[in-house]
Structure 1
Amino acid sequence: MCKVTDLRQSVLARNDRGAQALRQELAARGTVMVNLLSSPGSGKTALLESELGLARLRGVPVAALTADLATENDATRLARSGAPVRQVLTDGLCHLESAMVRAHVDTWLPEGTRLLFVENVGNLVCPASYDLGESLRVVLASVTEGEDKPLKYPTAFGLAHLVVVTKYDIAEAVGFDEAAFRGAVAQVNPGVEVVLTSSRAGEGAGVLLERALAVHAGAPVHRPVMARTAVADGHGQAHGHGDAHDTEHGHGHAHPQEHRHPHARPHGDVVDPTRSPGHTN
């Protein structure tokens, strides 16, 4: 069991070192990375498409990486904003890693990009423990997912710099209890900002853009304080956060079991939505 634990710690430690180096290099380039995490179907892509469009209208140099197990659908949608977009197909891997992001920063990210939005794989378990080198970590939850989602996935919500509620236009119809949700968030991440959005109704439009630009301008980010008692991640795995690795941006990363698909390639397949269908790099 010790060897298994050592391997998990080694994998996460290597990722964290790469993430910290990437964060420093992005800072030197004048780029802020925003890591977006959520469950599948939360409305993450719709919100990001809107934010990219607003950034383009305002003349803010932005780009986006979007990760998925399969299909180019998200990249095709995001490319409608006019921003540079690249799809990363993970071939079954349920999260992005810092080395995968670095590959695209080194070979694809346009010079002068001020904000890089990374849409992580739709999953609130595996991606939560992997620092990508972001300066702003945003966790999204739709009103249809239930008020106790932060308690079920405390690692994801507990490490967030910002929590975004999506599809708020239907909150009343689905019986969403905003106070209960905010209370659950406060239990795992005291003091973190919670904002309400609706891509359809336009509520909260520009919130991600404004928060990211503030970080780019030097504004401090919320520093999550992970509980020192073990918490369950929704799959019966308990993780103590007293030994989390803190970086200069307040990221604490626990060391859970790694969820790697046996056939996943180390950097994923890359799909450029502006090129012919089926073309990968």
Structure 2
Amino acid sequence: MCVTCGCSDNGESKVTNLTTGEVNHYHHDASHTHTLPDGTVITHDHSHDKHSEASQIHAKMHGTTISLEQDILAKNNLLAAQNRGWFKGRNILALNLMSSPGAGKTTLLTRTINDLKSQISISVIEGDQETTNDAQKIKETGCKVVQINTGTGCHLDASMIEKGLQQLNPPLNSVVMIENVGNLVCPALFDLGEQAKVVILSVTEGEDKPIKYPHMFRASQVMILTKIDLLSYVQFDVQKCIEYARQVNPEIQIFQVSATTGAGLQNWYGWLSEKIANLSKLISA
């Protein structure tokens, strides 16, 4: 369940292996936990036959400030830790790519794969609410790709990644790119077991996004500013955007790129190569 908006309640995710065509469906856990002011912990679901009970519980809590005693992300964090161990044991660099819809994640990803596939083995977990459109674009590069459709869900979670990896089966000593659902809020809350979060922001959006959605930029190690070839056609203050990003996260690394012209991509590729090299050193140490 998304702790912010409850988007995944009673939902279903679908994992499609673009290589084999195999499709698997998974139901989300619809259970819902509240800690009441008197310390009572109540777990219920939102199924139709318990709708009345759930309504009574919510009515009881209406207008009350509730301090939750439980970490409702505990299950996700445990699975994320398991994913992280799985990646580490196979010397795999896993990156979580996040952005708003239309920022250019897939375009940047396909350009990256095509430019580096002779040097680096890259596999992709593609996240969208519906369709395999982006996964098909990734498949055309020749790399392994699995599509996860979240249905009503607005983000990927660690359980979805675990199931996706079973289908993807990426090789040892490689890179797994996780393209999250387009959303600048919820994906930042969920650890997937990745080594780094990468937020992608296009110049067609607005330079104030880092201070409008601070948690996303605070949680990310890298910000990639895309579509810089369009700067002469849009009103976008690059320096102001960078200032905002570093105001939220002074340690964030920033790359300015165009996946269309190739401008700035070498800096992004250099960072990737350095992360891979550092991961290999940790494994051999």
Q: Report the TM range for the smaller structure's normalisation.
A: 0.7 to 0.9
Alignment CA distance shift 1:143-1:106 (3 Å): same
Uncovered stretches (5+) of structure 1, i.e. residues with no partner = 220-281
Return the offset for 1:209: 4.0
**Which structure has more RCO (C-alpha within 8 Å, separation ≥ 6)?**
1
Find out whether 1:31 has 2:92 as its counterpart: yes
For the pair shown, the structure with the greater C-alpha radius of gyration is 2
Cross-structure match for 1:146:
206
Which of 238, 261, 264 in structure 2 is aligned with 1:178? 238
Query: Does the 8 Å CA contact 2:170/2:176 hold for their aligned counterparts?
Result: no
Counterpart of 1:53 in structure 2 is 114
Provide closer, same or farther for how the CA distance between residues 75 and 207 of structure 1 changes in structure 2, counting only shifts above 3 A: farther
CA, structure 1 residues 50+208, in 2 after alignment: closer, same or farther (shift >3 Å)? same
- TM-aligned CA distance change 1:206 to 1:53, over 3 Å: farther
For these two proteins, the number of residue pairs brought into alignment is 217
CA distance in 2, matches of 1:114, 1:208: 17
**1:15 has 2:15 as partner:** no
| Separation in structure 2 between the aligned mates of residue 140 and residue 173 of structure 1, nearest angstrom | 19
Determine the C-alpha separation between the residues in 2 that align with 1:10 and 1:187.
Answer: 28
Query: Per the alignment, do residues 70 and 38 of structure 1 end up closer, same or farther by CA in structure 2, a change over 3 Å counting?
Result: same
Aligned ranges for residues 127-138 of structure 1 at < 5 Å?
Answer: 127-138=187-198
Determine the C-alpha separation between the residues in 1 that align with 2:164 and 2:90.
14
Aligned equivalent of 1:6, options 53, 68, 71: 68
Write the mapping of 1:1-281 to structure 2, written as runs, cut at 5 A.
2-3=35-36, 6=68, 9-58=70-119, 60-112=120-172, 114-218=174-278
Shift of 1:112: 2.2
> What letter is aligned with 2:68?
D
Cα displacement (A) at 1:90 = 0.7
The DSSP-based 3-state class of the residue aligned with 1:145 is: coil
Contact 1:19 1:132 in 2 (8 A): yes
- Structure 2 unaligned runs (5+)? 1-33, 37-65, 280-285
Once residues 67 and 186 of structure 2 are traced to their aligned partners in structure 1, the CA distance between those partners, rounded to angstroms, is: 16
- Contact persistence 2:145–2:168 (CA under 8 A): no
Secondary structure of 1:146's aligned partner:
coil
In 2, are the aligned partners of 1:19 and 1:98 still within 8 Å (CA)? Answer: yes
Q: After TM superposition, what 4+ stretches of structure 1 lie above 2 angstroms from structure 2?
A: 1-7, 110-113, 204-213
CA deviations on 1:183-220 (whole Å, 9 max, x unpaired) are 1001110131111011111112254443233222217x
> If the length of structure 2 is used for normalisation, what is the TM-score?
0.72
Q: Secondary structure at the match of 2:72?
A: helix
Tell me: CA distance 1:206–1:13, structure 2 relative to 1, closer, same or farther (3 Å): farther
Distance 1:53 1:104 in 2: 22
State the shift of 1:155 in Å.
Answer: 0.5
> Offset at 1:51?
0.7
Q: Does the Cα contact within 8 Å between 1:151 and 1:185 map onto a contact in 2? A: yes
Aligned-partner residue type, residue 90 of structure 2? R
Tell me, in whole angstroms, the C-alpha distance in 2 between the residues paired with 1:207 and 1:114: 20
Check the 8 A contact 1:157/1:188 in 2, yes or no.
yes
Cα distance in 2 for residues equivalent to 1:102 and 1:191 = 29
Residue 264 of structure 1: aligned partner: none
